[in-house]
């Protein structure tokens, strides 16, 4: 988070729309302090040994050519400069910092590099060089740097600037580096505090939707007293993800797909901010905080079960819980913690739920809660587990395969597993299930590793009937008849 704070402080400086002299002392102090913290954490210090120069002097054209190579190496992000171009006593200035010494500049870059690579890795950044002009003993560069930060709200920094290099040092080297930026205060802050706008390409969802054609749903046999379907959002999801996924029209959401099939639908009212309670409430539980042995009663997740209880209590008649991702094991937790919920539930469908804890040696994101839930017997309600084996994790593959490898490793300990791109198959089915369904679809409303919406996830129109109809067949049968089919 240090890089984020530093970037926000820098954004405040950008509002001056000029250089170092126009920036407030407070902003300079904040950035200077953060730079010291980064350097203390990184441990690199300026080299005290005299540098061996390859050549005695450089012509202005040679300096310009060297700077062009540095821009090709995207040094504004990567920090890959050519030290030969700079005088040892060069003064480096941008709108937030000014200091002397090439060695200081190099050590600053080395200490900052891990933070840059963590939050703005190479595939998510670029530098555009618009011009690089040499006139006498001055070289002037006009450039743009763009980077997407790996933060939950996916901000994007887009900054234009100018750097003036004065060639007044020993051997014609750069003696002064003066960088200025051009951006409004509103743009600077909004870039970092808001998700970057993305071009949403709407999937079709069903043939002809984009031309206004309605979907053709499968005909299913009616059942007496059909249950109200209650959707349980997955970890990090918002209730709106199941109604208007990624801002797409409501007709594309799971809620509409279920309503088109004649069901009353409710979504447990979870918003993204609620998930902070896993930590804010969990820190009060020492087993959660220190020992990774939290129980199902831990406040880190019992708040979610309370929301399920409140939602179910408002519904007349039976309910069918449909738990997406973590919502699947949280459906079980809700039944275990509230017998009133269990008595109203006609059945539970889990869509890509990580039912099992990770193996020993792999950190558990729930700090033991899912393990305690897994040890408990499944409540006396029908269970249908739905999973996928569509994506094999591969740390050397494409974006989706790499994302899957990382996600599977966190759940099963094996990044090479197969699954739905987030949850491996081995953790998504339970032997006590009345029915196990494996579909060739994806886990989420977005393509794994991207912000692009998809029509190929469990809740999309083309997959709903594949699990809903078999689930209705199960929950409509008497318990003794369900047992014969197991």
Q: Which of 15-29, 86-100, 161-175, 212-226 has the lowest mean pLDDT?
A: 15-29
Is residue 17 over pLDDT 60? no
CATH 3.90.1150.10 fits 222-484, yes or no: no
Q: What is the pLDDT of residue 442?
A: 94
pLDDT in tens, 206-259: 888 888 888 887 766 567 778 999 999 999 889 999 999 988 899 999 999 999
Q: How high does pLDDT run on average in the chain? A: 84
Asked whether the beta carbons of 11 and 188 are under 8 A apart, the reply is yes
- Determine the Cα angle at 195 with ends 192 and 198, to 5°: 125
Asked whether the beta carbons of 390 and 420 are under 8 A apart, the reply is yes
pLDDT in tens, 441-479: 999 998 877 777 899 999 999 999 999 999 998 888 766
Q: Which residues contact 328 (CB under 8 A, 6 or more apart)?
A: 232, 348, 350, 351, 352, 353, 354, 355, 385, 428
- Determine the Cα angle at 275 with ends 274 and 278, to 5°: 115
* Continuous H helices in 120-236: 185-193
How far is the C-alpha of 413 from the C-alpha of 406, rounded, in Å? 9
Q: Which residues contact 473 (CB under 8 A, 6 or more apart)?
A: none
Architecture of domain 2-45+57-193: Roll (3.10)
pLDDT in tens, 255-284: 999 999 989 999 999 998 899 899 888 888
**Side-chain-side CA neighbours of residue 399 (13 Å):** 9
pTM of the model: 0.62
How far is the C-alpha of 402 from the C-alpha of 308, rounded, in Å? 34
Is residue 430 over pLDDT 90? yes
pLDDT in tens, 19-73: 445 444 544 444 444 445 444 454 555 565 667 888 999 999 999 999 999 999 9
User: How buried is 363 (Cβ within 10 angstroms: 0-12 exposed, 13-18 middle, 19+ buried)?
Assistant: exposed
How far is the C-alpha of 38 from the C-alpha of 230, rounded, in Å? 48
Question: Could you give the percent of the chain with pLDDT greater than 90?
Answer: 52
Is residue 184 over pLDDT 70? no
- Determine the Cα angle at 282 with ends 302 and 446, to 5°: 75
Domain borders along the chain are: 2-45+57-193, 222-484
The answer to whether the 2-45+57-193 and 222-484 domains have the same CATH topology is no
């Amino acid at each position: 988070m240090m890089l984020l704070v530093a970037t926000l402080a820098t954004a405040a400086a950008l509002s001056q729309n000029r250089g170092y002299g126009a920036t407030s002392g407070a902003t300079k102090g904040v950035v200077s302090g953060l730079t010291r913290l980064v350097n203390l954490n990184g441990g690199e210090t300026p080299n005290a040994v005299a540098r061996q120069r390859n050549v005695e002097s450089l012509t202005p054209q040679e300096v310009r050519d060297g700077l062009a190579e540095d821009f090709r190496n995207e040094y504004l992000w990567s920090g890959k400069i050519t030290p030969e171009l700079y005088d040892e006593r060069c003064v480096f200035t941008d709108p937030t910092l000014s200091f002397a010494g090439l060695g200081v500049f190099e050590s600053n870059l080395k200490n900052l590099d891990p933070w840059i690579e963590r939050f703005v890795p190479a595939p998510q950044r670029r530098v555009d060089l618009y011009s690089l002009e040499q006139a006498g003993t001055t070289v002037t560069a006009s450039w743009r740097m763009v980077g997407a930060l790996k933060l939950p709200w996916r901000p994007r920094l887009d900054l234009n600037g100018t750097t003036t290099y004065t060639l007044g040092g020993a051997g014609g080297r750069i003696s002064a580096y003066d960088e200025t930026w051009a951006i409004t205060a509103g743009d600077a802050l909004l870039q970092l505090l808001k998700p970057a706008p993305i071009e949403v390409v709407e999937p079709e969802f069903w043939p002809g939707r984009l031309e206004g054609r309605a979907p053709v749903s499968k005909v299913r046999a009616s059942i007496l007293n059909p249950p109200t379907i209650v959707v349980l959002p997955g970890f990090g999801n918002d209730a709106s993800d199941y109604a208007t996924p990624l801002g797409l029209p409501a007709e594309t959401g799971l809620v509409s797909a279920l309503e088109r099939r004649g069901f009353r639908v409710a979504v447990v009212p979870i918003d993204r901010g609620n998930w902070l309670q896993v930590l804010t409430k969990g820190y009060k539980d020492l087993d959660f905080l220190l020992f990774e042995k939290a129980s199902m009663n831990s406040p880190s997740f019992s708040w979610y079960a309370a929301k399920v209880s409140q939602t179910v209590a408002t519904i007349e008649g039976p309910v069918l819980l449909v738990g997406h991702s973590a919502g699947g094991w949280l459906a079980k937790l809700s039944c275990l913690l509230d017998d009133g919920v269990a008595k109203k539930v006609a059945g539970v469908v889990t869509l890509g739920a990580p039912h099992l804890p990770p193996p020993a040696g792999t950190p558990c994101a729930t700090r033991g809660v899912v393990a305690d839930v897994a040890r408990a017997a499944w409540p006396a309600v029908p269970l249908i587990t739905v999973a996928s084996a569509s994506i094999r994790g591969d740390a050397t593959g494409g974006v989706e395969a790499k994302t899957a490898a990382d996600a599977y490793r966190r759940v099963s300990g094996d990044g090479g597993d197969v699954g739905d791109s987030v949850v491996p198959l081995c953790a998504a089915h339970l032997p006590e299930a009345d029915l196990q369904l494996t579909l060739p679809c994806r886990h989420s409303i977005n393509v794994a590793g991207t912000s692009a919406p998809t029509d190929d996830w469990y809740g999309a129109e083309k997959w709903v009937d594949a699990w809903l109809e078999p689930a209705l067949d199960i929950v409509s049968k008497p318990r003794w008849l369900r047992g014969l089919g197991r």
